[in-house]
Structure 1
């Protein structure tokens, strides 16, 4: 059976949905997987090791991580650890359900009869079967969708690739190279090396040449097999990391046509839809994954950002804050929470969250760019200059880093430098469409040469390209000189109108998050 009753909760395992009196509760992703694990064992006590193995494997997690996830699950269920109704702690042992779940005979059952021993055994086997199948499927796919490993060497490479840290990325690359030395045509190793080479550029401050290597490997695979969905996804990822948003979207969309169940690809495509201004489409993609959302690495961060852009402030804030607390090794959750506070103009809180993020060992230019903007906000140009310089040191090829460092250099940039930089950034008709951020750089440069009309026009071009972050434009000192400008007001109004349209799409959709009104 796929529907269970736990006291007044109805749990649909297939749809990954929890309801109380017909109202959906916000239990999804890793929280749902943890709840399903507890349900599959009835009222047995589950220790930390067993929970870690059944819910988090192959990732290695601490008891603190499990405790925090139990806390989030309890909050979502409306449970109280001091007087538990659904999940109780068993001192020194682990956790167990407070009652034995019962099978619902069919979808119309309003209440469940007390289960007989044979019925209890039947639903336990059914739920266990669901989890076994899910675990077996997960074991065959690492987070980026590589084929099942064919050797212990590849198994270990896949393991390191799935952890998602810079050092582990390098370990996995070395192992994939060893596998290719033994068999240059190994598809699994070529796919892994392609994605992780691109990840060097996207995630770990590598150079453009790393993503170009990833692109070349993906093309090599596609020359052999044009129907390889994972190779198309790797191609899209390489283009993504190289800044070619149109080619990246095309690669991801082709991959999804070939393999609609590829959730990592679907979520990656959703991120690019967000960057193109298709925020409702992005949220829909992340809410309609085919498998376990908890196994899609950056999905929770993306959903929080999408809700934020759509104006669902409270729902976004809860997710950002939870992500920041639960995933200290996730570079993007470390960026997203302080940046969200910055967008709300809660500058002191943003500075505090940023200071914590900078201690977590996930260096990224965006952290130092935000540090620089916070310094400007409080009038400390010297501190801002130092932060912008650190961002550029981390990623010397960064266009934004080059622009902001030049604008806040000491001595100030010459008019010739500003004009040259504008000419370098202004897109040509023969070039791929730039990311919206390029237009923001042009707006900064136009402000530097006292051209507010041209600066507002550049922001308008950013909106045309997909930029939708109204809050940032209002909060950032980089655009403070435009406040009160009629062209700037028209840009904000244009964003408002489009977001209102997309927000209406979300509020009327069946797939919307449970906490969205």
Structure 2
């Protein structure tokens, strides 16, 4: 539809595809980022109905989005165009199917003249370049792009498994648990067709790891992912994507040092791999390197195409104490991405940390109704019920959290500490012994869990020492420590304020580093490094 057209008209809109600009008369309309890519996708289909799966694939992939997120983006595009969903001029909804333009786009006059006068060779050359730019923008799964180019140029697929791999990449890119299952099945089929296919091995490894990380799958799937990705690295040690896949498998297994090492190997081989750069930034955040993590995430050239990046930036600003800026971003993410499980966790968690348990409960109720089950949502529900004095309700929430991922240690500990039967000293000792082998896994959660058990045993000094170990491992959420009822018994203990001061000293230094940096977010302009308006 758009081949050869660098500028098109849609009724009174003049759309310059090269400049990525939409004008009505002399007015430039605020259509950019995801809204621009959504408009490009719709233009490419003329006035045909574009279904949700196609929009998710061509606009959002590899991010995982559902119909709610797509509808929110359509709403923003309509607002930018000055359209009315009740009396649409440019874009209409087709119930149960998707969206379509109200009228087919037309070539702008100067494009038509240029095509006629430039001659066949020039027209062919421009057609190829324009179509390539459109295809590259619309598809982000590398295997799918390569296969489509091969098919359009008339060459044979590099592997007999390529058609299956295309479909697998499609389902993996759209996401959701059911689509991820379809992707796994197709990747297994591709491996049966071509046992030497690196793309099939990598793809299956990523889908298996995602099942464990995002969709409450069994730990065994992440372990299988690690085996497959390891095979891929040995088969092609210079393949950056193979190192990234193994890093992701380690990441989902909780092996932080190994994950960080593999992510760094991947970036050494492919510095433009922004998905891996964002994954490494998240681990830097967990290690307490907040300024570095924020800088890495803000440096991404196409951040809207990196899953969870916006959630990470909001969380980093929150931990750095930029409360107002973080709250605006958390609320924005919560509104626009209702099927993003980590956005659903982050906003109510942030409200609790800000001392707003009532608002946190309202947000959590919405999150729990969105169909993105996760243990952290249920743990947060347990915390809020404890604040209300409902220990029985909290116990039930912690038990549901444990049941969702039975293999997770923190879930077992919380369910045991708040269960119907009081935790015995023997049970606490057994749990502490089980944690001894996890001391060097790189995560602060192990030390937090140990602190809960030592607190339950009545040893406040040892519990505080464990919390200091958590800080040494990267824990920086002092606001949550103050707000959560889980550590309320320690508030009066000697050393509690010293613990909070230790966290604040490190965070203050990093906050000053961010404010002095040329890359700092624009909404931090004018803020002081000291605690002040806009900082916690």
- Length-normalised TM-score, structure 2: 0.77
| Residues 41, 138 of structure 2: 8 Å contact kept | no
| Aligned counterpart, 1:203 | 214
The answer to whether the 8 A contact 1:457-1:487 is kept is no
Is 1:272 the counterpart of 2:283? The answer is yes
Note the 1:188-227 alignment, pairs <5 A: 188-227=199-238
For structure 1, the residue ranges without an aligned partner over 5 or more in a row are: 1-10, 18-25, 75-80, 96-115
Contact 2:65 2:340 in 1 (8 A): no
Give the Cα separation in 2 of the matches to 1:209 and 1:276. 26
The corresponding residue for 2:460 is: 452
Taking the aligned partners of 1:453 and 1:281, their CA distance within structure 2 comes to 32
Match of 1:353 in 2: 363
Tell me the TM-score normalized by structure 1.
0.80
| Residue equivalent to 2:324 | 314
1:68 aligns with 2:79: no
Quote how far apart the aligned CAs of 1:516 are: 2.2
Matched, 1:363 2:373: yes
Alpha-carbon displacement from aligned partner over 1:415-453 (angstroms, at most 9, x marks no partner): 11112211221347xx64341011111111111011111
Q: Are 1:142 and 2:153 an aligned pair?
A: no
Q: Deviations over 1:458-492 (max 9, x none)?
A: 11110100001111111110001111333221111
Distance 1:456 1:320 in 2: 30
Asked if the contact 2:63/2:306 (under 8 Å) is kept, the reply is no
In structure 2, do the counterparts of structure 1 residues 29 and 372 end up closer, same or farther at CA, with 3 Å as the change threshold? farther
Q: How does 1:46-195 map to 2 (within 5 A)?
A: 49=50, 52=55, 55-56=59-60, 65=69, 68-69=72-73, 87-89=81-83, 91-94=87-90, 135-138=134-137, 141-142=140-141, 148-149=146-147, 151-195=162-206
Q: What is the deviation of 1:36?
A: 8.6
Q: 1:342 to 1:357 in 2, by over 3 A?
A: same
Do the aligned partners of residues 250 and 134 (structure 1) sit closer, same or farther apart at CA in structure 2, a change above 3 Å counting? farther
Deviations 1:8-54 (A, max 9, x none): xxx9x99x99xxxxxxxx9985356568999x99xxx9998599597
RMSD: 3.7
Aligned residues: 463
Q: 1:309 to 1:343 in 2, by over 3 A?
A: same
Q: How far apart are the structure 2 equivalents of 1:490 and 1:168? A: 48
Offset of residue 509 of structure 1: 2.1
Q: SS where residue 89 of structure 1 aligns?
A: coil
Distance in 2 separating the partners of 1:404 and 1:59: 32
8 Å contact 2:62–2:141 — kept in the other structure? no
Q: CA 1:55 to 1:398, structure 2 compared with 1: closer, same or farther past 3 Å?
A: closer
2:469 paired with 1:461: yes
SS in 1 for 2:83: strand
Matched residues in 2 for 1:312 and 1:164: separation? 32
Moved more, 178-187 or 128-137: 128-137
Are 1:472 and 2:476 an aligned pair?
A: no
The answer on whether the counterparts of 1:47 and 1:94 sit within 8 Å (CA) in structure 2 is no
* Distance in 2, Cα, partners of 1:201 & 1:350: 27
Distance 2:279 2:133 in 1: 22
Range moving further from structure 2, 319-328 or 223-232: 319-328
